[in-house]
Structure 1
Amino acid sequence: MSAAPAKKSAGETGTKRFQAKRDAILAAAAQAINDQSAKGMTFADVAARVGLNTTSVTYYFRRKEDLASACFEHTLEQLQAMLDEAMEETTPRARVARYLSINFARLARITRGEQTEFAVLSDLRAMDEPMKSRLLAGWQRVFRNTRALWGDPADRMAKDLNGARAHVLLENTFWLSAWLTRYELDEFARIEARLMDVFANGIAGAGAQWAPRLLGIGEDARGDGRTDFLVAATRLINELGYRGASVQRIASERNVTKGSFYHHLDAKDELVTECYRRSFNLIAEAQAKAHAGGENSWQMLANVMATLLDVQFSDRGPLLRTTALSGLPPRDRQTMIDRSNRIARRFAGMISDGIADGSLRAGDPLVASQTLMTLQNAAFDMRKWASTMPRERAVAFYASTLMFGLFDDRVVAA
């Protein structure tokens, strides 16, 4: 006769109950952060998501900032665990494929309701000290360990290129949750294979060379006071998030009064909408000018991506990141998402044309277009990296990650 299971002590049971409730609060808070940003999250909302009252939440986390910090720390821990697993592989390509597969498996579990999303990290810079420094140090460790997937670099140029590769890989896996919902669960394996194909082999056709022509977008608006105001606001919102970038801080960035802000715009929501409109107009202008150039699809795509990255890395930039969407009212948010989707479809059309004319590799244009949207969108965070080298090299290195793939060194040899 088998022995009866040992009876759990009251302390052990209480500890497990405490941990389970804490985990549920963290999961709910992560969802709230992803919906509303860390600044917009409230104890009342988190409590409602887990069926508690606000006082019960404060028993586990005394301040909202403590809860947000715990969510971000959990995300960083999960990312590090995934990277540790990927590093078990012996080659850079196998490590990247393993990391991508781990992410798709995680998203499949979320789709099936077996797991909750972790908190996106876009609000780290908006946190207060000393939490901000601790979290950013954790993010730097994740970035360095992602870069290590490619092994030890032979020289500084190889290290710079691997830094671009690491950032593009991370940002693409973060962005997956925004567009993978358009596919049925049984298609995830196919999408994973198509995305890995872009990572491994790039978009360019055989024999393609990187020799882009900058398209001169936004020239009509240079020196315009309203445009300068939008550029300054975009930069601050990208750094601190929608709720972290207050009207006062935006006005101070331009060394003007709050009254001057309201001379340009009626409300902060209108500001974000106008920043998005400016950014999307610049992308659309680049696409239109590339089409008007009469070149093959590879050259058109190279011209567009080089132009957008040049804007992102220059004083004329940046373009507004998609992370600001969480602060917008639902109707405005949907309008911006629809515009973004139209731009992505135009990239998909350019890729389809390139596959037809032979200047681009055969692949899934819809998947590839999402990687290009991620590329130009996330480049803002690499401005410091880009400032350490000639801008033309920074643009070439960053663009090469998807144009030629994450394992092709021809841009370094050029």
Structure 2
Amino acid sequence: MTPATAETRQYLAKRERILDAAAALVNSSGVRALSIADVADSVGLGTTSITYYFRRKELLVAACFDRALDRLDRLVSLAEQEPDAERRVTRYVEENFAMLGRVARGEETPVARLSDLRALDEPLRGQLIGRYLTIYRRVRHFWDSDGSPLQRARQTARAHILLDTVFWMPAWLPLYDPRDYGRVCHRLLELLRHGLLPAGAPAAGLETGSLQVPDLATSPFLAAAIRLINTRGYKGASVDLIAAELGVTKGSFYHHLDGKDDLVQACFEQSFQWIDDAQRQADAAGGPHGERLVKAMLSLVTRQLSPSAAPLLRNIALHTLPQAISAQVMAKSRRITARFAGTMIDGITDGSIRPIDPWIAAQTLMVTLNAAYELRHWAARCGLENAMATYAQAFLFGLFNE
């Protein structure tokens, strides 16, 4: 071994230690809270040692996301080796569970979650998002297509649900012992393959032409804030931009709220209220619990895909909140998820929902609803009703139902 080779290996090993520490901090506190000093403390180095490798915080964060995209690329490549759509999806999910199992056992280090990509400034944000979209297009081609608009729309909806479901598994998978990951993987795959509703169940309310857009009126102030935070991230949704979109002064903003943390909390509270309203209105309509869940889901997917509606705040904003407030928001989110799980249990009992794992299915439904906002431009091209039906059917009847 030459001295140069040993020096290079030492350099790379220290760089990896820095990226490991930075990724852990991004996952726990978000890009906004990350500092060079915190990373230095985590690895027992001085800040000058960190800046020797990464001159600025933004370059360090970008390197973390680039490494996460490397791992995503490898997992997608493994899935692409399979001969058909179902086996590609199965391989992709199984490989992710295997990787998360190694992370839980300390055999592999976690990478930064990609949900915070938008927190970066240009040109780094555009470069990384461009790389992600290239991988996303490969996942779309897990499913063969005849090139028709319907098949292309199904590819988009299915790939979006699959990717976001897997991206958010680290948020709820720690509830299980790593020794049970195989069972959890099997139950999630059953849901992705066959959906929530029994085979041959009537798609009540999903037929194009029968969908009705619910009343989506809301506070213009919160609507503008949610749209900007979802699109630009916490850092990019400045008080100046929010005030400009509403045509008010910064003073008017601070008349409503003390600061941006209060704003994010208010946006989450409003989002949870919309979900709660959809659940309770569906229950008030009566009928089998499977139909109630479909009604609630359609109301919320409509909100997410309609260009005129205020959407739900994306879960990525959780990282921007102080820990005490974030804990309150997470507790509320768990109660809403538990309510969906309760509806599913009642649906299994009355036969309107397949015998699935209600907690895994409820978590997947929450991710599916939250992620739908990203497809607004797609919905505009497909037509709102077609997009709503295609997206909902992918969850309700599985990723392979034609």
Does 1:75 pair with 2:76? no
Does 1:272 pair with 2:253? no
Structure 1 residues 378 and 172: CA distance shift in structure 2, 3 A: same
Q: Distance in 1 between matches of 2:212 and 2:361?
A: 22
Q: Aligned partner of 1:134: which letter? A: Q
Does 1:238 pair with 2:250? no
Q: Aligned partner of 1:34: which letter? A: N
Q: Which residues of 2 match residues 252-291 of structure 1 at below 5 A?
A: 252-291=244-283
Q: Secondary structure at the match of 1:331?
A: helix
Q: Aligned partner of 2:231: which letter? A: E
Q: State the shift of 1:374 in Å.
A: 0.5
Question: Does structure 1 conserve the Cα–Cα contact (< 8 Å) formed by 2:153 and 2:382?
Answer: no
Aligned residue number for residue 84 of structure 2:
91
Q: Distance in 2 between matches of 1:283 and 1:360?
A: 20
Q: State the shift of 1:360 in Å.
A: 0.9
TM-score (norm: length of structure 1): 0.93
Aligned residue number for residue 131 of structure 1:
124
Q: Distance in 1 between matches of 2:145 and 2:282?
A: 38
Structure 1 residues 162 and 216: CA distance shift in structure 2, 3 A: closer
Question: Does structure 2 conserve the Cα–Cα contact (< 8 Å) formed by 1:215 and 1:304?
Answer: no
For each residue in 1:361-392, what CA deviation from the matched residue of structure 2 results, as whole angstroms up to 9, or x when unmatched? 11111111111000111111111111112211
Question: Does structure 2 conserve the Cα–Cα contact (< 8 Å) formed by 1:122 and 1:241?
Answer: no
For each residue in 1:19-68, what CA deviation from the matched residue of structure 2 results, as whole angstroms up to 9, or x when unmatched? 01111111111122222322331111111111111100000011111111
Does 1:303 pair with 2:295? yes
Question: Does structure 2 conserve the Cα–Cα contact (< 8 Å) formed by 1:161 and 1:397?
Answer: yes
Structure 1 residues 218 and 155: CA distance shift in structure 2, 3 A: closer
Does 1:158 pair with 2:179? no
Q: Secondary structure at the match of 1:149?
A: coil
Q: Aligned partner of 1:76: which letter? A: L
Question: Does structure 2 conserve the Cα–Cα contact (< 8 Å) formed by 1:165 and 1:398?
Answer: yes
Question: Does structure 1 conserve the Cα–Cα contact (< 8 Å) formed by 2:165 and 2:367?
Answer: yes
Q: State the shift of 1:216 in Å.
A: 6.9
Structure 1 residues 316 and 86: CA distance shift in structure 2, 3 A: same
Aligned residue number for residue 343 of structure 2:
350
Q: State the shift of 1:209 in Å.
A: 2.4
- Higher mean alpha-carbon deviation, 119-128 vs 374-383, is at 119-128
Q: Which residues of 2 match residues 30-69 of structure 1 at below 5 A?
A: 30-69=23-62
Q: Aligned partner of 1:198: which letter? A: L
Q: Which residues of 2 match residues 310-389 of structure 1 at below 5 A?
A: 310-314=302-306, 315-389=308-382
Q: Distance in 2 between matches of 1:261 and 1:330?
A: 24
RMSD: 1.5
Aligned residue number for residue 4 of structure 1:
none
Q: State the shift of 1:188 in Å.
A: 0.7
Task: Give 4+ residue runs of structure 1 displaced > 3 Å after superposition.
Answer: 213-219
Q: State the shift of 1:241 in Å.
A: 2.1
Q: Which runs of 5+ in 1 are unaligned?
A: 1-7, 410-414
Q: Which runs of 5+ in 2 are unaligned?
A: none
TM-score (norm: length of structure 2): 0.95
Question: Does structure 1 conserve the Cα–Cα contact (< 8 Å) formed by 2:119 and 2:234?
Answer: no
Q: State the shift of 1:278 in Å.
A: 0.4
For each residue in 1:78-126, what CA deviation from the matched residue of structure 2 results, as whole angstroms up to 9, or x when unmatched? 1111000011111110110100011101111111112222112223233
Q: Distance in 2 between matches of 1:214 and 1:317?
A: 19
Aligned residue number for residue 26 of structure 1:
19
Q: State the shift of 1:153 in Å.
A: 4.0
Q: Secondary structure at the match of 2:197?
A: coil
Q: Aligned partner of 2:345: which letter? A: S
Does 1:203 pair with 2:192? no
Q: Distance in 2 between matches of 1:297 and 1:313?
A: 24
Question: Does structure 2 conserve the Cα–Cα contact (< 8 Å) formed by 1:214 and 1:303?
Answer: no
Question: Does structure 2 conserve the Cα–Cα contact (< 8 Å) formed by 1:354 and 1:360?
Answer: yes
Aligned residue number for residue 5 of structure 1:
none
Paired residues in the alignment total 397
Q: State the shift of 1:267 in Å.
A: 1.8
Aligned residue number for residue 390 of structure 2:
397
For each residue in 1:152-205, what CA deviation from the matched residue of structure 2 results, as whole angstroms up to 9, or x when unmatched? 444121011111100100000011000011111111111000000000000002
For each residue in 1:198-252, what CA deviation from the matched residue of structure 2 results, as whole angstroms up to 9, or x when unmatched? 0000000232222328787665xx3x6xx11101101111122223322222222
Q: State the shift of 1:132 in Å.
A: 2.1
